[in-house]
Structure 1
């Protein structure tokens, strides 16, 4: 039902604010002076022009109140009241006004909901508002609705250099709608990556508000009050060590050796020695014996703590921290997001990622780097790329102009770029340098050192996240990259090159957002029958043909395998056994840890023929089964009925691989509980939690991989795959139970393997 605006909307809101201003100014004065001030300002409130005057804006909502008032709330995403800034697990939100805003990240990107205003009359030329968050058209948006029809709509902005959660102004021209009744609806109908919307300060106005530039860095609420300090430090060990606080005072730290710029990043410095949460490090191994000059905004007592050392300082035993993943890839320090630069070469898998070494929130965007021989046990190396070299001519070879956003990696087997020295093949990284465009870096010594190509950018366009691949039939390179051409909108652009340096645009495929991926797979294991697969950051994929220049989908829309807190996945190039193995960013917050976020387990991608057609499956790699301990808890052919509806095991620790096969009788649901977490199979809806999963001959099989902060749920050998945080993260599971609801079923097999740590 449509309702009138609340008393604190529009004109009444202005009166309320003026009265509040009068009271604040009068408060604290002596009685006589206060009375005069208050009377004078109240006279101003009611005598000066109201919001009905042509010069005044009409405030629809600033979301500064304790609840949403008469705005109608549906679903879970918006909660019962406006958010107070950034929510748990979210990148830092900036650009909003006051303390409150609409933020649908409550519970993470998986939550959905709607927020609908009361009806109001359009009285000004423009409706304007601040908007941020996800950019999914029709899914994460604000809509203007008149007579039941959406007449205007806006989504969150794209990922901005320096602040992906930055709210900016949007203006709707509604001059031809004056006098009409309307409502506003803020929508979050997306559960994938960037599946949330932020809105603040909605106004009717006669003037537009110009968009603001996104901040170069995200200044926290407790901004650093200290002036710059300069310190000289003799480099006697491999690292510079310095302390970090999870609630730190952010300040820039710049490191020079001689006149060379070596590091330049924003750090979350502690306010004092008492507020240190962890220590981090910067690589200085090539400068041992020299003196570094460090310039930083930090408390003097913190600057005195900087030191050079060969060993990294750990306040907790490394890899044994409470929420440390035990069989997922996990960096030693700081924030991570997208996996990057994934390739196999000469016995090793090389894995890179977006990282902030000096804080647990998104910032800085170095590229972390690790290698493995089995994709299970990983060794972390020095970070491969560094941000914020700017226009400094003498900067470290690893430094980009600004942030090193996402990208990929490969091997230049044919020395097409001419960088090879000796017999060692050149490793190539393709990334988005937010200061110039799509860029390259390379290594001629197996990844020990990296050099940012002096001819960057190799592609200039409005987009990011290049996927680099070699197209053997055409003997040329391909970059698939997120792009925004005015005529195409959001798309994957395909560029081609013979030498990695000169690129030309070949085609665009509309309808994709961020982190492009493209590869070829056999159908049902038949190498003579293949299809190409393409997807972007949400991993919703299309099948089709690719001729080295153009991808042609064979069906409408996209298919989905991945669900939950899974985003920005990428696949290893050049796997020796022909496998295509995928890893995604697991968007899971790790409170109070010296690291934050993690990655999914590697999954082997295959194409299989199903009753719905050819579909992609994502099944954990077989190598993970080598972590299973002997003598698992198990039960076979156990019938659950209304009288005996549960089978359970008491267990210790919190690392498990649980494999279930059920045959239904007449139960409506089966629930697998592990600690405080629940996986539900709905026989009537044919769903595993929210994921469609059909029974086969009345049977369903699924698997749960449980790690300290998270779990992953896999249906039918990879028909669906969900990544989620644990409700009881870091705590022993205690009990695993399986129960039937609404009838009987047979537990054909329930096996609970304990898992060993890779550390």
Structure 2
């Protein structure tokens, strides 16, 4: 890797760091780079006690642009170490951007990054899937030649913008999925393509088949993630809108993926471009949170990591990882007699950096709301409507279980981090993420119900910031 490019990019990050860190809108318990633009999480991998996070980074602005790969690591998601930038685009006619991908550490080989190499002219130079080989500590990377996969390795007629390789292992073999648009029955269809490694070197790959084809309303299935929860394969894609999941039947191998359950990961498109940590049976999902205003010296952050499971009736379950609880500090519980009022205003809740947990009972015609407010009125609202079994999150409808009885409580955990709200509803069966620019004026929590609804309990905790440190080269041998 050209060290002068990486050093120049790092200096640009450092130059804007004071401005970014001083911005009161910037989240404090969601991971982000020191400054500038961040998007997709990449190369999420656990090695020697560290969770390594690579991510899309524009070190020269707070908007999408010259995409590099940033890098950080953590042992527990609450203390992070910023590592040197991992990848920079070559800057020649073939590579202007280093798009999304993954990282792999084979048992009998060096660490590998797989990513999409992108030219400014995709018609003349279609996307290729390239790799880079890393040092044992995953800090320094050297790009390989030739590309791992070119358009000639895809089905005939595949569109030139195929991208986002994701590698996984099954029964001692490595597989890769790639997002693409391919011809099928006379139409262009969004697809996830499946490849198989020829050997343990991961240098040679064979095309297997389309893993999954999407209907016409999905025009592209970006950032495919394919992994197992127990014996079931789960596919998550980012289709230029709210993320979709598909769950396959028990025991099926990846080349016979046949989903029997589909759903929405997060009802907001502000939660996007996921990747996974697969560690000791845990599946931890992270995403890029987007939608922040430009011109503030930073843009984008990582979501709260979510641990995934499958319910007994086949739904995807997402819960904040247990490690997040260590960020809780002073808190409180709202007394039951207070909650019996139709309107409760709580001025002592630290609403700009808080976790709120509780339950709500709502009848077939009941209404309830959780509002972050100021003296002038609500600034952000989660509104529950029993008649339509819907939660409205500032314009985004979230469909709740219509079969729920009036006596069955709805659980919720809501995280507010300056300008970000992440809500986990009904035990994580429904999730919604929003970016809200005006929350700096919020100074109270307001709970509202009519006679057809009521809160069961409500706890809250102030959340402390996660901690960062810069890479110390003296620790490299550790």
TM-score of the pair, normalised by structure 2? 0.82
User: C-alpha displacement at 1:593, in angstroms?
Assistant: 1.6
Residues 267 and 433 in structure 2, CA contact (< 8 A), matched pair in contact too: yes
Q: CA RMSD in A?
A: 2.6
**Pairs within 5 Å for 1:675-754:** 675=373, 676-689=379-392, 690-694=397-401, 695=404, 697-729=407-439, 731-741=440-450, 743-754=451-462
**Pairs within 5 Å for 1:483-502:** 483-487=180-184, 489-497=189-197, 498=199, 499-502=201-204
328, 346, 350: which one pairs with 2:30? 328
Residues 324 and 330 in structure 1, CA contact (< 8 A), matched pair in contact too: no
- The 1:739/1:507 distance shift into structure 2, 3 A limit, reads same
Residues 665 and 746 in structure 1, CA contact (< 8 A), matched pair in contact too: no
**What runs of 5+ residues in structure 1 fail to find an aligned partner?**
1-255, 265-279, 285-305, 392-399, 416-425, 523-529
624, 646, 660: which one pairs with 2:324? 624
User: C-alpha displacement at 1:313, in angstroms?
Assistant: 4.1
Q: What is the match of residue 536 of structure 1?
A: 237
Secondary structure class of the residue paired with 2:168: strand
Q: Distance in 1 between matches of 2:247 and 2:138?
A: 34
Q: What is the match of residue 374 of structure 1?
A: 76
572, 576, 583: which one pairs with 2:277? 572
Q: Distance in 2 between matches of 1:363 and 1:447?
A: 25
Is it true that 1:339 corresponds to 2:41 in the alignment?
A: yes
Q: Distance in 2 between matches of 1:317 and 1:363?
A: 20
- The 1:281/1:390 distance shift into structure 2, 3 A limit, reads closer
Secondary structure class of the residue paired with 2:410: strand
Is it true that 1:607 corresponds to 2:315 in the alignment?
A: no
Q: What is the match of residue 447 of structure 1?
A: 138
**Pairs within 5 Å for 1:172-571:** 262-263=4-5, 282-283=9-10, 312-313=14-15, 316=18, 319-390=21-92, 401-415=95-109, 426-435=110-119, 437-460=128-151, 461=154, 462=160, 463-471=162-170, 473=171, 475-487=172-184, 489-497=189-197, 498=199, 499-508=201-210, 509-511=212-214, 513-522=221-230, 530-538=231-239, 539-545=243-249, 548=253, 550-555=255-260, 558-564=262-268, 565-571=270-276
Residues 632 and 754 in structure 1, CA contact (< 8 A), matched pair in contact too: no
User: C-alpha displacement at 1:661, in angstroms?
Assistant: 0.7
Q: What is the match of residue 123 of structure 2?
A: none
Secondary structure class of the residue paired with 1:581: strand
Cα deviation code 1:466-490 (max 9, x no counterpart): 001122x1x2211111022223621
Q: Distance in 1 between matches of 2:99 and 2:31?
A: 20
- The 1:454/1:350 distance shift into structure 2, 3 A limit, reads same
User: C-alpha displacement at 1:707, in angstroms?
Assistant: 0.4
Is it true that 1:659 corresponds to 2:348 in the alignment?
A: no
Cα deviation code 1:381-425 (max 9, x no counterpart): 11111013427xxxxxxxx8331111111211232xxxxxxxxxx
- The 1:758/1:261 distance shift into structure 2, 3 A limit, reads closer
Secondary structure class of the residue paired with 1:626: helix
- The 1:388/1:455 distance shift into structure 2, 3 A limit, reads closer
User: C-alpha displacement at 1:680, in angstroms?
Assistant: 0.9
Q: Distance in 2 between matches of 1:378 and 1:590?
A: 25
Secondary structure class of the residue paired with 1:282: helix
- The 1:571/1:315 distance shift into structure 2, 3 A limit, reads closer
Q: What is the match of residue 588 of structure 1?
A: 291
Q: Distance in 1 between matches of 2:254 and 2:286?
A: 26
Residues 604 and 620 in structure 1, CA contact (< 8 A), matched pair in contact too: yes
Q: Distance in 2 between matches of 1:633 and 1:353?
A: 38
TM-score of the pair, normalised by structure 1? 0.53
Secondary structure class of the residue paired with 1:515: strand
Q: Distance in 1 between matches of 2:263 and 2:62?
A: 34
Residues 567 and 585 in structure 1, CA contact (< 8 A), matched pair in contact too: yes
- In the alignment of these two chains, the number of paired residues is 423
Dislocated runs of 4+, deviation >6 Å: none
Residues 438 and 464 in structure 1, CA contact (< 8 A), matched pair in contact too: yes
Residues 113 and 132 in structure 2, CA contact (< 8 A), matched pair in contact too: yes
Secondary structure class of the residue paired with 1:438: strand
Q: What is the match of residue 473 of structure 2?
A: none
User: C-alpha displacement at 1:562, in angstroms?
Assistant: 0.9
Residues 520 and 533 in structure 1, CA contact (< 8 A), matched pair in contact too: yes
Secondary structure class of the residue paired with 2:330: coil
- The 1:677/1:261 distance shift into structure 2, 3 A limit, reads closer
Secondary structure class of the residue paired with 1:685: coil
User: C-alpha displacement at 1:372, in angstroms?
Assistant: 0.6
